[in-house]
Amino acid sequence: MASKRRRKQQQKEGRKLEHRMDQRREAFNDIALKLAATLVVVLVAAGAIWYLVYYEPGPDIAEPWRLQDSDNPEHYHESADYYESDRPTLLEFFQTGCPHCNNQVPTMKDIHSDYLGRIDLLAIGGFQLGGRVDNLADLRDFKSEHQTYWPHLYDSTGELMSDYGFSSYPSFALVVDGQVVWSGSGEISYDSLAGVLDQYVEPEE
């Protein structure tokens, strides 16, 4: 009988010990979960602070293209021929019926003249304004009317401008080594454009 009572007592104590161990495991798991949650919050907060204070986004990679020359539709210009050269490329996205684009022409003439041989200047059209979409003839007539002498290229898809993140005319992108280092929209003064270009072009000798 004593042996039987002893076994029951041992079984009872074993169950108590197992219960205490279960409680300790649950407590440990709760602590571990709380610590893990706290660590996640700290890491997320640290990452957010680093992003806001220290992160500086790099330039966007310029979208490649292959576009027709408005003066010679059989000739196509390739973006790589410009982006892989040793000169910056200034793109102007325009629409022939846009008053701001027409007002911008004198400034672009001065830029073309003053930076000749130091940058590649390209005007890109074929886009929509209202219900009207420019075609090759529109670009050719615009170039002839304003007597401009840099390439006016035709985007037959009408999508390249949005690929560069623009939705208004005129819009500009400066590409250096295949990366968009500056962009802007609306009528831009000569001094503003020159101030940007002078950061990337070789000075006149």
Sequence spans of domains, the chain: 1-56, 60-197
What is the reported pLDDT for 51?
Answer: 46
Judge whether 176 and 85 are in contact, CB under 8 Å. Answer: no
Question: Is residue 149 over pLDDT 50?
Answer: yes
How is residue 59 written in tokens?
Answer: 């330039």
Within 10 angstroms of residue 53's Cβ, the number of other Cβ atoms is 7
User: Model pTM greater than 0.95?
Assistant: no
What is the reported pLDDT for 33?
Answer: 74
pLDDT digits (tens, 9 = 90+) for 12-50: 666 766 777 777 777 777 787 777 778 766 666 666 574
Indicate the DSSP class of residue 205.
-
Judge whether 95 and 125 are in contact, CB under 8 Å. Answer: yes
Question: Is residue 97 over pLDDT 50?
Answer: yes
Question: In CATH, which superfamily holds the domain spanning 60-197?
Answer: Glutaredoxin (3.40.30.10)
What Rg, from alpha-carbon coordinates, does the chain have?
33
Judge whether 155 and 79 are in contact, CB under 8 Å. Answer: no
**Tokens 């041992």 sit at which residue?**
10
pLDDT digits (tens, 9 = 90+) for 110-123: 999 999 999 999 99
Helix pair 99-114, 190-197: axis angle to 10 deg: 50
CA distances from 124 to 83, 104, 149, 158 (A): 15, 14, 13, 10
